[in-house]
Chains A and B, each alone.
Chain A
C-alpha cells in the first residue's frame, strides 16, 4: 500500500511542485548527462553530437591520467580523512576529559571550529602565502635553524594540500565526536568508575562504542567532501607540478571546461559517481557489520 488509509490525500498535492522542481534541476540534468555520455561532443570542434555507444566509458577506464588521478584521490581521501577523524576524536575527548570549565570548553570548541567556517577559496589563498618557498612557514623553519621545505614540489604538493584540508576540516569530525562524547550517559561512566575500570577500559568499552556510528557518519561526510575536492587544487597548485596534484575532480573540470570534451567528461563523471556510491555502500555495510 502506497499510503496509509488514514492519511489525508490533500497534502499530497502540496508536495508536487517541489517534486517537479527536483525533477527539473536534479533528475533531468542527470539523465541529460547519461545521454551526452554516449555521444562524442565537443562544441568547440563541431556543434554536432555523434552517437558512440559505450566508447567514452571504455576510453575513460583506459585513460592513464584518470586512473592516476584516482590513485591520488585514494591516498588523499584515505589518509587525509582518517587523520581528520582521529585528530578530531582526540581533541573532542581531550576537551571533555581535561577542561572542566564549561566556558573555557565552549571557547576552545569555537576556536577549533573557526577554520571550518572559512571559505575554501580564502583558506587556499591564505595557505598559498604560507607555503610558498619563501613563505611564512619556511621563514620560521629557517629562523629555527632548519632547512626550508619545498611544500609545493613534485613530492610534497599533494601532502601539502592534504595538510591544508586537515587544518580546515578536522573541525567537522571534532564537532560530531564532541556531540557523541557528551551524549554518553554519565551514570554508565560513573558505574564503571565505581567498579574500578581504568580510563582506557572505559574509553574502549563504553565511550568508543557509543561514538562509533556518529564517527562513521563523520567519516562518510568527509569522504564525500573529499570526493569533490577542487577549490584548493585549483587555487594552490592547478593540478601541478605536472599532474602531481591532479585529482579526478580537477581532471574532470579540465576535460569539461578547458577542453570542452563534454561527452567524455559526462561519462567520466558517471563512472566517478558510480564509484562513489559503491564505495559508500561498502563502507556503510562494513560499519553496520562492525
Chain B
C-alpha cells in the first residue's frame, strides 16, 4: 500500500513539473485577450524597408488587447540601405529596434555576427501543436532555406516572393494576333512553355504588332538582382550555383552559357537601355502599358489593377517558361523565389522584450493576421503560407482589410481585385510557380556572389562581352570569392544548402 502511495505521489510530482507554464495559443482570433501571456509595459519598435508598409502599426491596437504590448511607429528605410543600416546598428551593440526586417539572402551574414537571436527556444513559448501547424503551413522553400540556417531557426516570414510569367491578356487573346502567330511559328499564341517560346513571342510582338514605343519584354538587370532573373532561365537549364563539390561555379558551365545566350536573344525586343533596368523601370514600363510580358514578382499582378486604363484588368500570370530536354522532351520549370521579407530579433535585449517581439512576429506572421495582410494593397506582403492560397484567402482579395481602419499613412482600405475569379487566378499562378520554386543563395557571401554575376549579366546584355566571356569571368570571380571567404567553410555551407534542397525535393 505504502509502495502504491509512493508511486502515486511520485507521479503527481512528475505531472506537476511536466505541466510547467501554460503554452500560448497561436491561433486565437485577432484582438482576443490571450490568457497565457502578458507583455504589459513593453514597447516594441520595428524597422522595415519603405515598400513593406506599416502592418505592425495597423495591428497594434489588437495586439495590445491580446497581450498588453505597445508598438511604436515603424522606421522606414529605402531597401538598398536596409541591410547596412541594420548591420551597422547591431555592430554598435545597442539595438535601436526590437523587430528587424531582413531579406533572407542575408540570413547567414546576420547569424554569423552573433548579434541576432536564434528562435528555436522561442517557439517553445507556444502550444507545440499550434507551432507544428504553423510550420507545416509555410511553403517549404521559405521554411527550409530562408527561416533556417546552420541548423537553427533565425527568422519569421511576413512576405513571400516568387517570380512568375506576367502578361497582358488582350495581346494573347486577340484573334488576329493568334492567326498571325500560328502562320509564322506553327503553334498557338499562348503563354510560353519554354524559353524558346518566350523568344519567339518577343520576336513576334515587336516585329509584327507593337508600335515603336512599345516592347515585347524586359528584365530587371540592375545588381544585385539581375543574377536572380538570369537564374530563372539558368536553373531550368539545370545550372546550379556550384558543382556539388563546390569546385566549379555556375555548373554545368555549358548550360550556364546557353541560358545566358537565351536571355541575350531577348535583348532586341526589350526597351533600349534594359541592362540598366531595376525595380523602378520594370514597374513603370509595365504600369504604363509599354511592355507585353515579363518575368516579375507576383506583386505586379496586384499593381496592374492600378495601372493605366489599358493595363488595369488586362494583366494575368502563368507558369514561368522552362527548358525542354532535347533527349527526353521533358520541360523543367524553375521559378526563382528571391527577396522576401522576414523578421529577426537582436540578441542584446532583455529576455522579456525578445519574448514580446517573438509573440508579435509569430502572431502577425500566422494566418490569423496575415491572410488579411497579403490581400491588402497598402503593404508589400505576398503569400508565403499554404493557407494564403485557399478560396477563403482569395475571397479576402475582393474585400477591404477588416483588421485596420484608415489613417494619413494608409488613407484607403479597398479591395485588390474586383472579382473572386481574378483573385483566384492570381493565386493559382503564384502556387503553380511556387511548386517549381528555386531558392536564392542564402549562405555567407550571398551579396558578393549575386552582385558579381549581375554585373556580368549586365555586360552580356549590353553587348560589351559575349555570354561565354560573361559566364567564364563570373565563374572565375565566384571561385575567387569562395576562396577569399574560406573555401572549406563555404563548402560546408553549400553542402547544407544542397541538403535543404534535397529535403524539399528540389534535386537528388
* Chain A residues engaging chain B, CB cutoff 8 angstroms: 42-47, 132-134, 148, 150-154, 157, 234, 237-244, 254, 257-260
B382, CB-defined interface residue at 8 Å? no
The distance in angstroms between the C-alpha atoms of A45 and B462, with both chains bound, is: 34
- CB-CB under 8 A from A154, the residues of chain B are 275, 459, 462-464
> What is the minimal beta-carbon distance from A274 to any residue of chain B, in angstroms?
24
Q: What are 19 sample pairs from A and B whose C-beta atoms fall under 8 A apart? A: A43-B91, A43-B112, A45-B486, A47-B113, A132-B273, A133-B272, A133-B273, A134-B271, A237-B276, A240-B223, A240-B275, A241-B275, A242-B456, A242-B462, A257-B87, A258-B224, A258-B447, A259-B445, A259-B447
- Out of A153, A238, A257, name the residue touching B273 (CB < 8 Å): A153
- CB-CB under 8 A from A148, the residues of chain B are 272
- CB-CB under 8 A from B463, the residues of chain A are 154
- CB-CB under 8 A from A257, the residues of chain B are 83-84, 87-88
| B455 and A242 contact, CB distance less than 8 A | yes
| A45-B112, A239-B223, A257-B87 given; 19 more Cβ-contact pairs under 8 Å | A44-B108, A45-B489, A46-B112, A134-B213, A148-B272, A151-B273, A234-B80, A240-B222, A240-B223, A240-B275, A240-B276, A241-B458, A241-B462, A242-B459, A244-B464, A257-B83, A257-B84, A257-B88, A259-B448
- CB-CB under 8 A from B154, the residues of chain A are none
> What is the minimal beta-carbon distance from A7 to any residue of chain B, in angstroms?
42
> What is the minimal beta-carbon distance from B438 to any residue of chain A, in angstroms?
23
> What is the minimal beta-carbon distance from B203 to any residue of chain A, in angstroms?
20
> Which A residue's beta carbon lies closest to that of B288?
A134
- CB-CB under 8 A from B101, the residues of chain A are none
- CB-CB under 8 A from A239, the residues of chain B are 223, 455
- Out of B109, B290, B451, B489, name the residue touching A260 (CB < 8 Å): B109
Query: By CB atoms of chain B within 10 A, which of A44, A47, A150, A154 has the most?
Result: A44
The distance in angstroms between the C-alpha atoms of A240 and B462, with both chains bound, is: 10
- CB-CB under 8 A from B223, the residues of chain A are 238-240
- CB-CB under 8 A from A243, the residues of chain B are 455
The distance in angstroms between the C-alpha atoms of A184 and B91, with both chains bound, is: 55
Given the known interface contacts A133-B271, A134-B213, A152-B273, the answer about A240 and B455 at a Cβ–Cβ threshold of 8 Å is: yes
The distance in angstroms between the C-alpha atoms of A182 and B89, with both chains bound, is: 50
- CB-CB under 8 A from B447, the residues of chain A are 258-259
> What is the minimal beta-carbon distance from B260 to any residue of chain A, in angstroms?
14
- CB-CB under 8 A from B307, the residues of chain A are none
| A44 and B462 contact, CB distance less than 8 A | no
> What is the minimal beta-carbon distance from B251 to any residue of chain A, in angstroms?
23
The distance in angstroms between the C-alpha atoms of A241 and B272, with both chains bound, is: 13
| A238 and B112 contact, CB distance less than 8 A | no
- 9 A-B pairs with the lowest CB-CB distances in the bound complex, closest first: A44-B109, A133-B272, A242-B459, A257-B84, A133-B273, A241-B458, A241-B275, A241-B462, A152-B276
Given the known interface contacts A153-B273, A240-B223, A257-B84, the answer about A44 and B110 at a Cβ–Cβ threshold of 8 Å is: yes
B278, CB-defined interface residue at 8 Å? yes
The distance in angstroms between the C-alpha atoms of A148 and B271, with both chains bound, is: 12
B485, CB-defined interface residue at 8 Å? yes
Interface residues on B, range: 35 or more
The distance in angstroms between the C-alpha atoms of A257 and B89, with both chains bound, is: 12
- For residues 268 through 282 of chain B, which have their beta carbon under 8 Å from a beta carbon of chain A? 271-273, 275-276, 278, 281
> Which A residue's beta carbon lies closest to that of B90?
A43
| B87 and A153 contact, CB distance less than 8 A | no
B114, CB-defined interface residue at 8 Å? yes
Given the known interface contacts A133-B271, A134-B272, the answer about A44 and B112 at a Cβ–Cβ threshold of 8 Å is: yes
| A132 and B455 contact, CB distance less than 8 A | no
- CB-CB under 8 A from B462, the residues of chain A are 153-154, 241-242
The distance in angstroms between the C-alpha atoms of A44 and B109, with both chains bound, is: 4
Given the known interface contacts A45-B112, A132-B281, A242-B459, the answer about A258 and B84 at a Cβ–Cβ threshold of 8 Å is: yes
- CB-CB under 8 A from A152, the residues of chain B are 273, 276
| B451 and A258 contact, CB distance less than 8 A | yes
The distance in angstroms between the C-alpha atoms of A1 and B485, with both chains bound, is: 54
The distance in angstroms between the C-alpha atoms of A238 and B281, with both chains bound, is: 14
| B278 and A238 contact, CB distance less than 8 A | yes
- For residues 93 through 140 of chain B, which have their beta carbon under 8 Å from a beta carbon of chain A? 106, 108-110, 112-114
The distance in angstroms between the C-alpha atoms of A213 and B474, with both chains bound, is: 49
The distance in angstroms between the C-alpha atoms of A9 and B275, with both chains bound, is: 65
B444, CB-defined interface residue at 8 Å? yes
One digit per residue, 1 when the CB lies within 8 angstroms of any chain A CB and 0 when it does not, for chain B 143-156 equals 00000000000000
- CB-CB under 8 A from B281, the residues of chain A are 132
- CB-CB under 8 A from B112, the residues of chain A are 43-47
> Which B residue's beta carbon lies closest to that of A236?
B276
One digit per residue, 1 when the CB lies within 8 angstroms of any chain A CB and 0 when it does not, for chain B 274-296 equals 01101001000000001000000
The distance in angstroms between the C-alpha atoms of A254 and B87, with both chains bound, is: 14
| A150 and B87 contact, CB distance less than 8 A | no
- CB-CB under 8 A from A259, the residues of chain B are 445, 447-448, 451
| A242 and B458 contact, CB distance less than 8 A | yes
- CB-CB under 8 A from A43, the residues of chain B are 87, 91, 112-113
> What is the minimal beta-carbon distance from A139 to any residue of chain B, in angstroms?
10
- CB-CB under 8 A from B113, the residues of chain A are 43-44, 47
| B87 and A241 contact, CB distance less than 8 A | no
One digit per residue, 1 when the CB lies within 8 angstroms of any chain A CB and 0 when it does not, for chain B 452-475 equals 000110110111100000000000
